[in-house]
Amino acid sequence: MTSPDAGRMRPGPSLWSRIQSGAIERFHIRIESLIVLLVLAAAMAVLSPYFLSWSNFLNIFLATATIGVLAIAATYVLGSGGLDLSLGSVMGLAGVVGAWVAVKAGLPTPVAVAATVGAGALAGFVNGLIITRAFVPAFIVTLGMLGIARGLALVINHGAAIYGLPAAMVYLGQGRPLGIPMPVIIFIATAIVMHILLAYTRYGRHTLAIGDSENAARTAGINVQRHRLSLYTLSGALAGLAGLIFATRVNAGDPTAGLTYELTAITAAIIGGTNLFGGRASILGTMIGALIMGVLQNGLNLLAVQSYYQQMAIGAVLILAVFIDQWQVRKESRV
Amino acid sequence: MSLLEITNVSKSFGPVHVLDGVSMSVDRGEVVGLVGDNGAGKSTLMKIVTGMYTADQGRLTLDGDDILTHSPGERRRMGIEMIYQDLALAKQQDVAANIFLGREPQKKVLGINFVDRATMRAEAKAMIDRLGARLPAINRPVGSFSGGQQQSVAIARALTFDPKLVIMDEPTAALAVREVQGVLDLIRQLKASGIGVILISHRLNDVLSVTDRIVVLNHGRAAANLTTAQTDMAEVVSAIVGGADMADAAAHESRG
Ligand SMILES: Nc1ncnc2c1ncn2[C@@H]1O[C@H](COP(=O)(O)OP(=O)(O)OP(=O)(O)O)[C@@H](O)[C@H]1O
Ligand SMILES: [Mg+2]
């Protein structure tokens, strides 16, 4: 080990890697994703004169709200080593259920709101029950639920959307207290609560510990199955909340709402630094990931790119994000 | 009344009978060695004690209380701790997170329970220092540590909450000479403070030097229950290999 290269083989931590690990330790985010977001925003600002306006800024958050809430759900489930592919379908089902309760059953808005979130939570609870009690893999159960929930959403009103929500309910999607759209407020508030829950409470720590090593969690006395059940229920409830935001924004319970949204939501979570295999996750990172998806979509819209191509772009970004993550992991474990 | 009483415990995994009516006991302040061939059923028996596996039949009491129906978490709260052979650590979490996993100290802010990270970190550091373990950094994921360093974290995890019974499954397997002596000293300290210890180890010299009794498992049965002061390497080895001709094996172990 006296060769002149010896020193070069094991360099001390560079400034860059110190920033990287600092960002992860302090804020649980991958610094790269923040840079991607800024670069993307700068590129959009150059490409489109409308990009850098306050109203477009709010537009991006508004467009990100639904996906953002779903991405928060994906963050919890992925962080625990699980998977929820039914997010988009459950969101669609919840919106239809809420609209049905408000319009067809004519029940008051608070009941309709509770029914929307509750329908999502129930779907998630069923997912969790089958995963934890019948030991069917999450991939299969939530894939099945993707089909079941979508089918149910279509069955309820024979495939047609339910229009004409009461004004109080529509306010949740279209109201603008202090000029800020309600969905943005709901999104930010949800993110703050879920961030605190994940980073600063036992619940959040146990979620990541289970995703890291189920065996470690079990030997520590954590009731892993019960925790998993609660996580899928939480995931469903958040999908219900996303359904509420969407339905009240477009003023309709649309059975096709949220189609393929799970793809975007999972992508956002992974771009934000969530470990695909569990054990590491942060809501702050997911917010950045969701905003990247939002900016991407908003920018492609401003540039009048057809939605088919947008789908392709999102799919490509997902694969790219996982590739970069795995590449980082391999690099770290090499030396 | 013994601290831990295992009575007639049996366990099969499908068609494989792993434990066949095993009984053993541990007193307060007693160190019991549990030895046997690879696959004899040592880890399985101890996982039944911590609640990771459920016994097909048998009885388990701690301080006279039946614990068979208690969850792993409840048994841990009652004072049963185990250092698992595979360590059972959460590799992406840091030292404090692992030591306090499932028992994080909390503080109330606005009526909500938050994990008290400052306390957690300080106490984790104190515990690591008390054990004399040398870790590169306490706030790093334990997966980045060496095998021996990880073993220190697993030991710290088992000792932080005033256990009554500590089960160690090959705690020295990854340790250097000096660290092994450290663990043996630690076992003597635990004994002196009235804690019951079960030590599983293939290092028979260690077992002979630190235990009061030695229970030998052979094909899922308790083949021998020896008083350490009145036995020797030859007798232990003979019980492990099942009475076959073992002069060579015993001679080899004695040299080691
Ligand atoms: N979860 C399991 N499923 C099926 N068989 C198991 C399981 N755990 C252990 N066994 C079997 O039970 C037997 C005893 O295993 P155990 O781990 O208790 O042995 P051990 O005495 O601890 O051995 P070692 O000294 O190698 O650690 C082995 O034959 C093993 O294959
Ligand atoms: Mg073993």
In a domain, A79, yes or no: yes
Residue with tokens 């019980």: B239
Least confident of A107-116, A303-312, B202-211: A303-312
Pairwise CA distance, residues A66 & A130, whole Å: 27
Per-residue pLDDT, B217: 96
Per-residue pLDDT, B135: 86
Closest to A71 in 3D by CA, of A42, A33, A102, A41: A33
Q: What is the mean pLDDT of residues A60-85?
A: 96
Asked whether the beta carbons of residue B89 and residue A216 sit closer than 8 angstroms, the reply is yes
Per-residue pLDDT, A28: 67
C-alpha angle with apex B207: B201 to B212, nearest 5 degrees? 130
Q: Nearest CA to CA, how far is A273 from chain B (Å)?
A: 13
Pairwise CA distance, residues A98 & A118, whole Å: 9
Which of B12, B13, B19, B218 should be mutated for ligand 1, with most atoms under 8 A from CB? B13
For residue A280 the two structure tokens come to 């590491």
In this prediction, residue B39 has a pLDDT band, given cuts at 50, 70 and 90, of very high
Closest to B201 in 3D by CA, of B169, B230, B229: B169
Q: Is the pLDDT of residue A335 over 60?
A: no
Q: What percentage of chain B exceeds 90 in pLDDT?
A: 78
CA distances from B245 to A52, B38, B238, B239, B249 (A): 86, 19, 8, 11, 9
CB B118 within 8 A of CB B205: no
> Residue A223: CA atoms inside 13 Å, Cβ hemisphere, count?
9
The string of pLDDT tens digits covering residues B126-152 is 999 888 888 888 888 999 898 888 999
Least confident of B119-123, B172-176, B235-239: B172-176
Residue, of A297 and B83, whose pLDDT is higher:
B83
Q: Chain B contacts of A217, Cβ < 8 Å?
A: 90, 101-102
In a domain, A311, yes or no: no
For residue A140 the two structure tokens come to 């299969």
CATH numbers and ranges of domains, chain B: 1-23+39-71 (3.40.50.300), 212-256 (no CATH)
The pTM (predicted TM-score) of the whole model is 0.90
The Cα diameter of chain B in Å comes to 70
Instruction: Spell out a b/e string for A56-65, using b for 16 or more CB atoms within 10 Å of the CB, else e.
Output: beebbbbbbb
DSSP B145: S
User: Any CB–CB contact under 8 A between B136 and chain A?
Assistant: no
Q: What is the mean pLDDT of residues A291-319?
A: 84
Q: Is the pLDDT of residue A14 over 80?
A: no
Residue, of A125 and B253, whose pLDDT is higher:
A125
Q: Is the pLDDT of residue A8 over 60?
A: no
Residue closest by Cα to atom 13 of ligand 1: B39
In the predicted model, what is the mean pLDDT of chain B? 91
Q: Is the pLDDT of residue B120 over 90?
A: yes
In a domain, A9, yes or no: no
What are the DSSP calls for A105-164, one per residue? S---HHHHHHHHHHHHHHHHHHHHHHHHHS---HHHHHHHHHHHHHHHHHHHTTT--EE-
For residue A131 the two structure tokens come to 């995963």
Length of chain B: 256
Q: What is the mean pLDDT of residues A297-305?
A: 81
CA distances from A105 to A101, A124, A157, A299, B184 (A): 5, 24, 12, 40, 72
Asked whether the beta carbons of residue A218 and residue B92 sit closer than 8 angstroms, the reply is no
Asked whether the beta carbons of residue A216 and residue B72 sit closer than 8 angstroms, the reply is no
Per-residue pLDDT, A192: 96
Ligand 1 in reach of B13 Cβ (< 6 A) = yes
In a domain, A46, yes or no: no
In a domain, A281, yes or no: no
Per-residue pLDDT, B254: 66
Sign of the CA dihedral A45, A47, A50, A51?
A: negative
Per-residue pLDDT, A326: 78
CA distances from B82 to A169, A241, A296, B22 (A): 54, 43, 51, 19
In a domain, A233, yes or no: yes
Closest to B194 in 3D by CA, of B76, B25, B30: B30
Chain A to chain B Cβ contacts (< 8 Å): 78
For residue A322 the two structure tokens come to 């996982």
Q: How high is the ipTM of this complex?
A: 0.89
Pairwise CA distance, residues A267 & A39, whole Å: 18
Q: Is the pLDDT of residue B174 over 90?
A: no
Q: Is the pLDDT of residue B219 over 60?
A: yes
In a domain, A303, yes or no: no
Q: What percentage of chain B exceeds 70 in pLDDT?
A: 95
Sign of the CA dihedral B88, B93, B99, B103?
A: negative
Ligand 1 in reach of B9 Cβ (< 6 A) = no
In the predicted model, what is the mean pLDDT of chain A? 89
Per-residue pLDDT, A9: 45
Q: Is the pLDDT of residue B69 over 70?
A: yes
* Ligand 1 closest atom vs CA B170: 27
Q: Specify the 3-state DSSP secondary structure of B163.
A: coil
Q: Is the pLDDT of residue B249 over 90?
A: no
Q: What is the mean pLDDT of residues A78-100?
A: 98
Pairwise CA distance, residues B44 & B48, whole Å: 6
Q: Specify the 3-state DSSP secondary structure of A42.
A: helix
Pairwise CA distance, residues B48 & A26, whole Å: 40
How many distinct structural domains can be found in chain A? Answer: 1
Q: Chain B contacts of A219, Cβ < 8 Å?
A: 50, 52, 72, 82, 84, 88
Could you tell me the residue range of the domain that residue A253 belongs to?
68-258
For residue A91, the Cα-to-chain-centroid distance in whole angstroms is 12
Scanning B67-106 for CB atoms below 8 A from A yields 71-77, 82, 84, 86, 88-93, 97-98, 101-104, 106
Pairwise CA distance, residues A224 & A81, whole Å: 12
Q: Specify the 3-state DSSP secondary structure of B31.
A: strand
Q: Chain B contacts of A201, Cβ < 8 Å?
A: 112-115
Residue closest by Cα to atom 31 of ligand 1: B39
Q: What is the mean pLDDT of residues B80-107?
A: 94
Per-residue pLDDT, A18: 76
For residue B142 the two structure tokens come to 């334990």
Residue, of A334 and B57, whose pLDDT is higher:
B57
Closest to B167 in 3D by CA, of B153, B147, B148, B187: B187
* Ligand 1 closest atom vs CA B45: 18
Closest to A320 in 3D by CA, of A294, A289, A299, A278: A289
Least confident of A200-209, A273-282, B95-104, B161-170: A273-282
Q: What is the mean pLDDT of residues A167-187?
A: 96
For residue B158 the two structure tokens come to 């088992």
Q: Is the pLDDT of residue A4 over 60?
A: no
Cβ neighbours, 10 Å, residue A120: 33
Pairwise CA distance, residues A149 & A239, whole Å: 12
Q: Is the pLDDT of residue A95 over 90?
A: yes
Report the residue of B83, B87, B94, B101 to disrupt the A interface, i.e. the one with the largest count of A CBs within 10 Å.
Answer: B101
Residue, of A4 and A49, whose pLDDT is higher:
A49
Asked whether the beta carbons of residue A275 and residue B92 sit closer than 8 angstroms, the reply is yes
In a domain, A304, yes or no: no
The string of pLDDT tens digits covering residues A119-140 is 999 999 999 999 999 999 999 9
CB A93 within 8 A of CB A150: yes
Q: What is the mean pLDDT of residues B202-220?
A: 95
Beta strands in chain B (DSSP E): 4-13, 16-26, 31-36, 57-62, 65-66, 80-83, 106-109, 112-115, 165-169, 196-200, 213-218, 221-227
According to DSSP, the β-strands at A252-253 and B4-13 are: unpaired
In this prediction, residue A34 has a pLDDT band, given cuts at 50, 70 and 90, of confident
